[in-house]
Structure formats: C-alpha cells, structure tokens
Amino acid sequence: MRFRRNNGIEERLLRLARKIESSARRDEERILEMQKIAARRAAAAAELHAACVSFVHSVNKLLPKPMLELSPPDFTAASFRESGPNVYQLAVSGRIVHLEFRATDTLMSTEKFRIPYILEGAVRAFNQELLDMPAIAERLLFCCLEGSEANWLWFDVRTRHAAPLDQEHLIDLLEPLL
C-alpha cells in the first residue's frame, strides 16, 4: 500500500512540474507580447508626430514666414509616456488643434471602437470663440492594429463616421478656426 501511495505522489509531482513549466512559458510569451505592444505604441506615437511635422512643414513652406507651430517640436519613440497622456498641439494665432492620447488599459481594446486599438484619445479643435461655448466638439482618436500596421483613425461619435487621421483631416480641423 505504501508503494502505491509514493507512486501516486511522484505522478502528481510530475504533473505539477509540467504545469509550472507550461505556466512559465505562457508568462514569457505574455511578457514578449507586452514588450512588442509597448514598442509598437511608442513607434505609433512617433509616427503621428512625424505626420504632424510634415503637415506643419507643408503649410509653413507656403507662407511668407512660418506661422503654424507644433508642440512639442521634437518627439521620438523614447519620448512616449506609457503611463500617462501624450499631447501634440498645432497652433496658429490662438487657434489650436489638440491631439491627446494614451495607452489602453489592456494590451489591446475594442471597448470604444470596433477595430482593435492600442492607443486611444481625442482630437479637439478650438479658438477663443469656441472656448466661450459650453462644450468643445471632439472626435475620438485610435491607433488601430491591422496586421503588422498601426493606423491612426478618428471617429465622430455623433455621425458614427471614421477615417484616417491624415493631412486632409488636419486641414478640415484647422480651416473652420480661421
């Protein structure tokens, strides 16, 4: 009887060891996935900033002197704040396009938008007249993963319309302010 009991314990120990090994592998995979998403978030933030830089440059080269400003003027993937808001502002004579975004609470989410996203935020455009109004219109902003690509999309909750955040959209936001 004693022999059977020891044999049963050895089998249980073996199953436990296999479970521990399997759990460690899954934990390593989760850590790698977290690192991959963190790197993708930082790269996407830098890509959005580069698109804003390109937009500012495109507008300013058509003006006699540069008037459109981007804040912050420089941004790299290392500048990305994983645990807080990241803000870019396009400004010209008190008229502002404000882009604010942050990492999702989970690695990826579909809570507020149907396409899986890794960054979420809002785009607001305002001038002094709009600041005097009770509310400033905003469009939601998402960095969505589609395959290995990260795409910035805006979403208007009122109209249910979504589209890429590109130079055309930045023009659409800035033009009515002038």
168 domain residue, yes or no:
yes
CB atoms within 10 A of CB 153: 20
Rounded-to-integer distance, Cα 127 and Cα 150, Å: 31
Cα–Cα distances (Å) from 30 to 26, 55, 118, in that order, read 6, 37, 16
Question: Which secondary-structure segment (H or E) carries 156?
Answer: strand 149-156
116 domain residue, yes or no:
yes
80 domain residue, yes or no:
yes
- For residue 82, what are the domain limits? 34-177
Residue 21, pLDDT score: 92
The pTM for the full model equals: 0.85
In tens, the pLDDT along 165-175 reads 999 999 999 99
**How many domains does the chain fold into?**
1
In tens, the pLDDT along 112-128 reads 999 999 999 999 998 87
117 domain residue, yes or no:
yes
The C-alpha R_g of the chain, in whole angstroms, comes to: 24
Instruction: Indicate the pairing of strand 149-156 with strand 161-164.
Output: antiparallel
87 domain residue, yes or no:
yes
Rounded-to-integer distance, Cα 7 and Cα 150, Å: 54
Positions of the chain with pLDDT lower than 70, given as ranges: 1-7, 130-135
24 domain residue, yes or no:
no
Give 7's Cβ-side CA count (13 Å radius). 4
